[in-house]
Each structure stands twice: as C-alpha cells, then as structure tokens.
Structure 1
Amino acid sequence: MADREESAHEIVCTKNTDEVLTGGMANAGAVVRRGGLVERPAPSTAPALHAHLRALERHGFGGAPTPLRLTEDGREQLTYIPGDVALPPFPGWAMTEDALRSVGGLLRRLHDTSATVAVDQGVQWPRSMADPEGGTLLCHNDVCPENVVFRDGRAVALIDFDLAAPGRAVWDLAMAARYWVPMLDPVSAAVLHPAGLDIPARLRILADGYGLSADERAELPGVVEQATESCRAFVAGKVAEGDPVFVEALSARGGWHRWDRLQEWLTAHRELFTAALLK
C-alpha cells in the first residue's frame, strides 16, 4: 500500500496448524496459512475478483493465487504460492537489475492476459489507488515488493489483489515503479532501499522488462507523479479517519513535509526520467 511496513508472506507465529502471516497495514494478524492454503479477510469485491482470477488462470496466467472459496464469516481461501517475498528494509537480492526486469515482465504477462478477460463493470471496484482515468484493464494497483513472490531471484507471482480496479496499463506500471525503482527522493528512499541505486537507469530497466511502448514511455514520468498524488490522498484519508497505523507512519516519516519533498523531486527530475526512458 502507499506506506506499507510489513509483508503479507512473513510468518510471525504458529498456533496449532495455523501459521499467522502478517497482512500488511490493513490485515496484520488476520492472514493465516494452513499448508497449501491461505485464509484472509475477503475484500468487498471478492466474488467478482475471484471470477477474474480464475479466468486469468484459464487463459494461461499462473502468477496469481487460485481462489478456493469464501467462508460464511467473510473470509477468503486461496492457494499459497511458495517463494521469497522481500521485507523492508529491502534486501539486495530484491533490488538487482534482473529482479527489477523480471517484475516488469511479470506485470506485462498479467496485463496481456487481463486484456483477454472482460472486467465486470457492475462491480464497485475500490477507487482509493485506482487510475482516475479508468480503463478496461483490471490493474493490480499495489505491485510493491511485499506483494511479489520470487524464486531464484526472479518474480513469478503477484499476491494481494484487494486494490484491483479498472485502469490503464501505464498506471499499474507507474504504481509499481514507485516501489521498485524506487521513484522516491533520496531521503525517502534511504529509509527502506539500498543506497546508491541509479533511479533513471532503473526506471528504464523496468520499462524495458515490461516492453513499454514509446508513447507510454513519454507518458510514464507524469503518470508516476499522478500516482504519487493518489497515494498521498489515500494516506490523508486514513489519517483523517484516525487510523493509528497510518498516523504513526506519517509522523515517523517526516509528516506531510516528506510528501511535499517527494512531489517536488519528481517534478524537478521529470525531464531526466523521460530522457532515460527514451534514449
């Protein structure tokens, strides 16, 4: 999510046969694994989302959990995908160029398959992190390190589709770029990411891994700025609601000054990012 602290895959305790997995900022302590099954709170869109995930699988995309069932107490059961998930502060293996390129490739495979599956337009998909321009493609919208499963240093699957909503492919890639490049000013990036990352070069690697078109490359830096504004609005909403996790995270990371600094940095470097993408 916009300011995530924990992984959805990290095992924190065991009780009987249940392994309690951290569920990020929204579902911490509410996600459990039982062997090859994961049970977690179901999003409001679960029936339509499950149908979409099953359709993706039928069309050949194997990089997402398979929905198994919804329980009477409002939870969902899905297959567990084995592998490695990067936890903050993000380790070097997750920030290699090969890892970054593979994230782009995985997201492209998701989008190519999603383009063959019609989105249920009768569903109220979550809008908090969704593309404000909308679209016909069901985007993941939260491709952060904690939601990508790796094997042998390569991204193989995406988890946690709770924020999935219709949008443009370039929007989904921009959201991913925020976390993976990362599209963060140096002060913000230093909190969770290794030092010395070449941001313009990494943005190009992600776009190359995805196979982004020339027109979308020219558009991407501006969409990243737009996505960052949406993330800020999401955090502002949570803070206004008094959500203690987001209130604490905002305070710990420098308050709104941090978001102002980030937006100014993105705007100041837009031409540099565009040049790196188009060279």
Structure 2
Amino acid sequence: MDDEELLTGGLANAGAVVRRGGVVERPAPPHAAALHGFLAGLRAGGFAGAPVPVGAVVDGRERLEFLPGDVAVPPYPAWALGDGALVSVARLLRRWHAASARTPFDAAAHWPDEFADPEGGPLLCHNDVCAENVVFRAGGAAALIDFDFAAPGRPLWDVALAARYWVPVLDPATAAETGRAHLEVPRRLALFADAYGLSPADRSALPSVLEQATAVCRGFVARRVAAGDAAFVDHFTGYGGWARWDRLQSWLSEHRPVLERELRA
C-alpha cells in the first residue's frame, strides 16, 4: 500500500511493525487486553506520553496511535548520546511512574516476566526504555512506546533498566568498541539519578539493582538465542557473544564502590 511505512527499531518485532497514517499496526502481546485498558486509563488521567489503542486486536495484530517525533536507532546519532537526552529520559520516566502509580491495572493478568522485577512492585513498569522506544520532540524525550515487556515492579527497577541503555552502562572495552568511550559511566549514572529525583535510599541501592537487572537481561538473551530467534542470534554473534556479558558483569561487580560513591556525592 502506498501509505504503508515499515518502522524499524528493536529486535523483538523487527520487520513486523508498520504505520498507516496515524495508526501503528504491530504484533499484539499476549497481555494486550490488560495493557490496552491501562494505556487508555493513562490517557484519561492526563498522561500523553504513551499511545492509546485504536480498536480491538484482530488476527493477532494490535493497532495503536502513532506518536510523531524522532526515535534514535543504531548507529545512534550524537544528540541521543548527550547529557540533555539522558536528563530528559530520566524526567520522562519519572512522569511515567507518577502516572502509572495513579492508574489502575489488572494485577491478575499474565504480565510478561522476561524483564519483570523479581521482587514485584506497586506499579506497572515499562521495563524496556531503550533508545528505540523513546520518542523525542524539540530535543527532549516526550513519549514511550512498545510496552511488550511492561509488568508490575518497583520504580527503581525501571530506572536501572533504563539507565543500562541511556548512560549507557558499559565496561570500557565495550564502550570503546561501540564508539562510546567518552561517556563517563559514574558521572552519567549520577546525572540520571539526579534528573529522575531518586531518593537517597534508592541511590544507594541502584548499583546492586543494576547488577541484578543485567543478569536478568542476560537470561533473556540466552533464552532467545537458545530458541534460535534469528534476529537475536545474529545480533548476539555480531556483538561479541558471552565475552561481552562476562566483561560487563565483572566490571559492574568490581566498580560497585565507585558507582556508590558517585551516587552519594
């Protein structure tokens, strides 16, 4: 169709997301009914930073409002790596959590557990605030998209997952290999915490939660690779395999005191 645009972005639904005018059509997650009710509740409560569903799920496809703006995809543009983008994402995440906390959700629904907080929590977390899932307008983060991994959890868990992508939390070797060696992890992690407004207790806990979140993300990748998911197998192989994960987990453990000091400061 002439008005159909294939949208690129993350790995999970690569090649399966299309835009037709003001509507995005994509594979519906198993929890679509509960998710759509929650998204509608968010908008009714005044939060415009997430799309609303457009109609019912048909043939396993959901239709959502298209939110205009800029989305950073690899190779990430310089503006997506700056302090301004980092700060605006943290502030958007705080607004999301405030809106989520006042919006009821179906606690009995089968929310996905791939990235879910192992400790559970009182509000619905996004759990995948990567660059491809944030819409920017006028240089600032304005909206979140792709709620396939949304699940109940603690705000701090969502902060840790988002920080992994946006700081980004990388060991020096991986940062150098991906052109991000100039991004200082301790300083930017503290900047993210500042912009979000983390409490002193959560700032102290963040480094250990980062380690926990990294282990959960590794498990997710392992399951996708073991299942033979072509997009993940190709990305995993080209991204250095388990050596990079081992290196990152070792770096996080060794540098926990450094991160703790920076966050306290």
Name 2:106's counterpart in structure 1.
120
1:41 aligns with 2:57: no
1:61 aligns with 2:72: no
Q: What is the distance in 2 between the residues matched to 1:104 and 1:271?
A: 23
RMSD in angstroms over aligned alpha carbons?
Answer: 1.2
Name 1:220's counterpart in structure 2.
206
Please say if residues 92 and 194 of structure 1, whose CA atoms lie closer than 8 Å, have aligned partners that are also in contact. no
State the 1:91 CA deviation.
Answer: 1.4
The alignment's TM-score, normalised by the length of structure 1, stands at 0.92
- Structure 1: gaps (5+ residues): 1-14
Matches within 5 A, 1:103-252: 103-252=89-238
Q: What is the distance in 2 between the residues matched to 1:49 and 1:140?
A: 11
1:278 aligns with 2:257: no
Name 2:36's counterpart in structure 1.
50
State the 1:172 CA deviation.
Answer: 0.2
1:149 is paired with a residue whose SS is strand
State the 1:17 CA deviation.
Answer: 1.5
1:25 is paired with a residue whose SS is coil
Counterpart amino acid of residue 60 in structure 1: G
For 1:159-196, what per-residue CA distance to the aligned partner results, in whole angstroms no more than 9, with x for missing partners?
00110000000000000010000111122234445331
Counterpart amino acid of residue 128 in structure 2: D
Q: What is the distance in 2 between the residues matched to 1:120 and 1:69?
A: 19
Q: What is the distance in 1 between the residues matched to 2:173 and 2:264?
A: 27
Name 2:6's counterpart in structure 1.
20
The alignment's TM-score, normalised by the length of structure 2, stands at 0.96
Name 1:254's counterpart in structure 2.
240
Counterpart amino acid of residue 190 in structure 2: R
Number of residue pairs aligned between Structure 1 and Structure 2: 265
Counterpart amino acid of residue 69 in structure 1: G
Cα gap change, 1:78 to 1:270, in 2 (>3 Å)? same
Please say if residues 93 and 196 of structure 2, whose CA atoms lie closer than 8 Å, have aligned partners that are also in contact. yes
Which structure 1 residue ranges, 4+ long, deviate > 6 Å from structure 2? Answer: none
State the 1:209 CA deviation.
Answer: 1.0
Name 2:56's counterpart in structure 1.
70
For 1:86-139, what per-residue CA distance to the aligned partner results, in whole angstroms no more than 9, with x for missing partners?
111211101111111110000000001111122311111000111111112100
State the 1:221 CA deviation.
Answer: 0.6
Counterpart amino acid of residue 261 in structure 2: A
Q: What is the distance in 1 between the residues matched to 2:77 and 2:264?
A: 29
Q: What is the distance in 2 between the residues matched to 1:178 and 1:57?
A: 28
Cα gap change, 1:188 to 1:104, in 2 (>3 Å)? same
Q: What is the distance in 2 between the residues matched to 1:62 and 1:190?
A: 37
Counterpart amino acid of residue 215 in structure 1: A
Please say if residues 23 and 30 of structure 1, whose CA atoms lie closer than 8 Å, have aligned partners that are also in contact. no
Please say if residues 68 and 79 of structure 1, whose CA atoms lie closer than 8 Å, have aligned partners that are also in contact. yes
Q: Percent identity?
A: 58
